[in-house]
Structure 1
Amino acid sequence: MDPIVKYPDFTQLDALSTPLREYARLKCEQGAETGAAALIGQLTETMRCTVRLLQELPDDAALSACEPNELDAIRALRAPAQRRLWEALPPEDIWMDKLEGALLGRIIGCLLGVPVEGLSVESMRAWSEYIGKPFPPVSYWEEVQNPELWNCYGRQRGEYRKCALRSAPVDDDLAYTQLALLILEEYGPDFTTEDVGEAWKKYLPVACTAEQAALDNMKKGVPAREAADRDNPFCQWIGAAIRSDGFGWAAAGLPELAAEMAWRDARLSHRRNGIYGEMFLAAAQSAAFAVSDPLDAVRAGMAEIPRECLLYRDLAWALEHCGAVRGHGDARRLVDERFAGMHAVHTNNNLCLIVFGLKLAEGDLMRGLSQTVAMGLDSDCTAASAGSILGAVLGKSAIAPELYECFHDRMDTYLKNTEAFSIRDMAKRYSALAHKVHSRL
């Protein structure tokens, strides 16, 4: 299967990085530090020049026309679809069961994926065999590798073990769901990209890749609408997609509006398929409340992005191949073949894994999450998003209580000036936002 995008061969570049550094160190140790420093300086300048030349390469005009960044242009390129699935929220008991299911599904999926994020399928399988547990996992990981190590959020890896769960520990896949709530409450459903930027500067102490690039740019005085355009090669990675849930929940049953909210959020840090990833997932999560088949939510999400963009074509490919996927191994093999050379935290490859995970769930949230985590790549992101969609379709009543009772209604955070959120209170606040959105229609 030929990949739709063909990347340069980075094999030699990667292979040379270690001997380059180590020979430079060795020559310094042997008294040739002046010559080593000069050569490294020359290479550094050559690399800077190459980066500039890469930035200046003209994009393919035809593909650019299929992948606009502005909302009106995006909407002009969508496939026909039903863009409002609910005229009003359902009865309160049904609605809250679904909303709490979506929130808990996201938390559970995230925490199932965190301990093995970035590991290969083979490494996950070997670790499961080592600790004597089944693979794919059937519950939270009872042991994690390097439990004493600290992550960038100030937590030790050991805190994510099943036996250590006393709350839902911090992770960016959960923090941005908390942040979306604050943005919607403080600025209202008509918030702007500038409002998102202000909220980031107010609440985010740390970020990664595209989000960090946008934060850094804003701190230098770059306007919010331009913050994604400078020193940001990560603008099509998965960072925006993981921020989508809150907008899907606040606009439940209204996928077009959910996608619009996601667009306003995503454009702060992402471009093109990075934006579409958040729009797609927000619309899919919105639609998930109103459908019985999670793949119907996928189709609703696809209808909100340009039908000729790379992400739409990749998602259509995933739907076409769902019948050939019998388990996590099939899914990962197909994705590796199609996306050879793509970074492991890119939007497109990971969102295709989500589609396969939703198919493999077969109406069982834990099975869907287990299979999704076992596919690898950015496993906490993929499982969290799959959990949000499955939780909205199935409801909290379909989730085994032992998967969430261990949280004791507490969701920790690394956002500034806050230690934790009540999970029940968070659901009530999102419900209030959804009622506000629907009352304006």
Structure 2
Amino acid sequence: MTPLRLTWVQPEDLLGHELQQALQDGREPSAIAARWQSAGGPPAPLRAGASTQRASRYLRLLAEDLLDELADLPSSLAESEPTELSKIKALCRNWPAHPTHPAQPAGSRAAGAMGVPPLERSREWERVGADGTLSAPVGATSGGLGAGPPASGRGGLREETPPTPAAHLPRLEAAWLGRAVGCLLGKPVEKLSLTAIRQLARSTGNWPLTTWFTARGVPPELLAAHPWNRRSAPTSLAENIDGMPEDDDLNYPLLNLLLLARHGRHFTTTDVATLWLDELPAGRTFTAERIAYRNLLTGIDPPHTARHRNPFREWIGALIRADVHGWTNPGDPAAAAEQAHRDATLTHTTNGVYAAIYIAATIAQAASVGSTGTHDIHHCVRTGLQVVPPDSRLAKAINHALRLTAETRDFDTIVDELHTAYADHHWVHAIPNTALITAALTHADGDFTASICRAVSGGWDTDSNGATAGSIAGLLTGSPDALPDRWTAPLKNRLATSIADFNGIGFDALAHLTLRETPHP
């Protein structure tokens, strides 16, 4: 019988990743690395989630001991890269102010604005049918989802007004669609090298990238050298697309809709954990999320779930969960960042958290009135940067990307520069991927097609980068009708998922559900 080799949890693999993480976050791991190497310990897999061979019992026990020793090493970056929200705010002198317009009181919600009495809603939320329609509520709860009183703020580039429900609804649908399109575009080339992506696209005349990847016309010898992503190609190449297949980049926004519906805007990190245990299949988690899930099952409480033997705590997983926090706080990037922080700290620390709050704040700004139009992507990104500690590695990476896009016309040159600068980072790490997302959006001036194609063509975590770029650029278009049909038609307004009862839901229905969790003045 072939043994099960579960990815992202094998101690001998985690140790190699943690040694690399220590080098990046200001610890000195050389003595521990020498002990591991002298014992015959393997390096971390470069791209796969697990090494092919199981290590000996001795090496596995040694790896666990060394993981704990690495956790105790002091970091020279501790002061400039905190995880606690209060310390992050103390470093961010221009942390955005909460808007001064009156917030809607708890219980008076966007749901009421759409003709659904807010008190007539189930704690289990609406049931979503296989055809993507919403069924009637089956219970009642107040939800308690209204925005709290305005908090004091210390900065902000300018205050924006949240849109009316009628204005926000089409933008939400465009954001959901954009997220799905960008994700699907990147799926067949996930895990592939930058060279492989360029060669595959060029072989079909699709470079610079402007449309879906296809296997039609690719020379067999090129496919043999650079095969498509094995799991994704059957549902994501142009000739195979039939609706939006399941992906964690869409599963987490669905979970966060449930989170807001069940626990309200003031949810806790423990609420996130409880929801995951109730609704998220363990096999649908990866990297930091899988480690945190395992930690929960062994009795470890948040936020220690993010730290215990978790070398992926600065990877991209928290970033891909940030969109709903931005979508449901239009014009209030501070609130979006605070929500994203409570979500992210279940699984991530420092720069992994910063990536999530940066994206949430950027999206909240993009969702405000006055942010439609390609020129405003630059303002949105500057707003997002206000919630990132200025001396952190992520802030430096984002600023590096912004300098490159301001100075360099050719996007391939920008990508090459980024890959050179972050060659020592894993392809799923938040720092290089966030820099690439920023470069793609700003170099494209927020144009939808250009944004998602640049994000995917830059490599690394292609489906996640495409999804985030698509969400932001889609939101900025203002309407699903503004998205080209060649991107949206193949999705057939249908999303596959294993989350709750969402399987088969349409993106128009998701926009309505998101609007219900959005306060309005």
Calculate the TM-score normalised by the size of structure 1: 0.84
Matched, 1:285 2:363: yes
Structure 2 residue matching 1:164: 3-state secondary structure: coil
Alignment equivalent of 1:137, drawn from 193, 202, 209? 209
Question: Aligned partners of 1:215, 1:261: CA distance in 2, in Å?
Answer: 20
Question: Aligned partners of 2:85, 2:263: CA distance in 1, in Å?
Answer: 20
Query: Aligned-pair distance for 1:328?
Result: 3.4
Question: Aligned partners of 2:379, 2:215: CA distance in 1, in Å?
Answer: 36
Closer, same or farther: CA 356–267 of 1 in aligned 2, 3 Å? same
Question: Aligned partners of 1:213, 1:196: CA distance in 2, in Å?
Answer: 15
Matched, 1:113 2:113: no
Closer, same or farther: CA 52–322 of 1 in aligned 2, 3 Å? same
Hey, what does 1:240 align to over in structure 2?
Answer: 318
CA RMSD of aligned residues (A): 3.0
Hey, what does 2:278 align to over in structure 1?
Answer: 202
Question: Aligned partners of 2:258, 2:485: CA distance in 1, in Å?
Answer: 28
Query: Aligned-pair distance for 1:199?
Result: 0.8
Q: Which runs of 5+ in 1 are unaligned?
A: 20-36
Calculate the TM-score normalised by the size of structure 2: 0.72
Question: Aligned partners of 2:491, 2:241: CA distance in 1, in Å?
Answer: 7
Query: Aligned-pair distance for 1:419?
Result: 2.1
- CA deviations on 1:215-251 (whole Å, 9 max, x unpaired) are 0111111112221121101000010001000110011
Closer, same or farther: CA 148–105 of 1 in aligned 2, 3 Å? closer
Asked whether the equivalents of residues 377 and 445 of structure 2 are also in contact (C-alpha less than 8 Å), the reply is no
Matched, 1:438 2:520: yes
Q: How does 1:365-404 map to 2 (within 5 A)?
A: 365-396=448-479, 397-404=481-488
Once the two structures are overlaid, the 10-residue window that deviates more, 365-374 or 80-89, is 80-89
Closer, same or farther: CA 327–100 of 1 in aligned 2, 3 Å? farther
Matched, 1:336 2:419: yes
Structure 1 residue matching 2:505: 3-state secondary structure: strand
Hey, what does 2:5 align to over in structure 1?
Answer: none
Query: Aligned-pair distance for 1:41?
Result: 6.3
Closer, same or farther: CA 43–192 of 1 in aligned 2, 3 Å? closer
Query: Aligned-pair distance for 1:211?
Result: 0.3
Query: Aligned-pair distance for 1:150?
Result: 6.1
Hey, what does 1:231 align to over in structure 2?
Answer: 309
Hey, what does 1:165 align to over in structure 2?
Answer: 241
Closer, same or farther: CA 429–45 of 1 in aligned 2, 3 Å? closer
Structure 1 residue matching 2:306: 3-state secondary structure: coil
Asked whether the equivalents of residues 327 and 371 of structure 1 are also in contact (C-alpha less than 8 Å), the reply is no
Hey, what does 1:22 align to over in structure 2?
Answer: none
Matched, 1:255 2:327: no
Letter in 2 for 1:190: H
Closer, same or farther: CA 342–8 of 1 in aligned 2, 3 Å? farther
Question: Aligned partners of 2:208, 2:56: CA distance in 1, in Å?
Answer: 46
Question: Aligned partners of 1:388, 1:93: CA distance in 2, in Å?
Answer: 19
- CA deviations on 1:372-429 (whole Å, 9 max, x unpaired) are 1111011111111111111122223431123112222211112245423221010011
Hey, what does 1:312 align to over in structure 2?
Answer: 395
Query: Aligned-pair distance for 1:42?
Result: 6.2
Query: Aligned-pair distance for 1:344?
Result: 1.0
**Bigger proportion of residues as helix:** 1
- CA deviations on 1:274-293 (whole Å, 9 max, x unpaired) are 11111110000111123342
Letter in 2 for 1:409: N
Question: Aligned partners of 2:172, 2:410: CA distance in 1, in Å?
Answer: 28
Closer, same or farther: CA 377–325 of 1 in aligned 2, 3 Å? farther
Asked whether the equivalents of residues 160 and 365 of structure 2 are also in contact (C-alpha less than 8 Å), the reply is no
Hey, what does 1:428 align to over in structure 2?
Answer: 512
Tell me the matched-pair count.
407
Question: Aligned partners of 1:412, 1:268: CA distance in 2, in Å?
Answer: 26
Asked whether the equivalents of residues 178 and 470 of structure 2 are also in contact (C-alpha less than 8 Å), the reply is yes
Question: Aligned partners of 2:335, 2:61: CA distance in 1, in Å?
Answer: 47
Closer, same or farther: CA 202–133 of 1 in aligned 2, 3 Å? farther
Asked whether the equivalents of residues 288 and 389 of structure 1 are also in contact (C-alpha less than 8 Å), the reply is yes
Question: Aligned partners of 2:303, 2:61: CA distance in 1, in Å?
Answer: 31
- CA deviations on 1:273-323 (whole Å, 9 max, x unpaired) are 111111110000111123342121111111112222221122122222222
Query: Aligned-pair distance for 1:117?
Result: 1.1
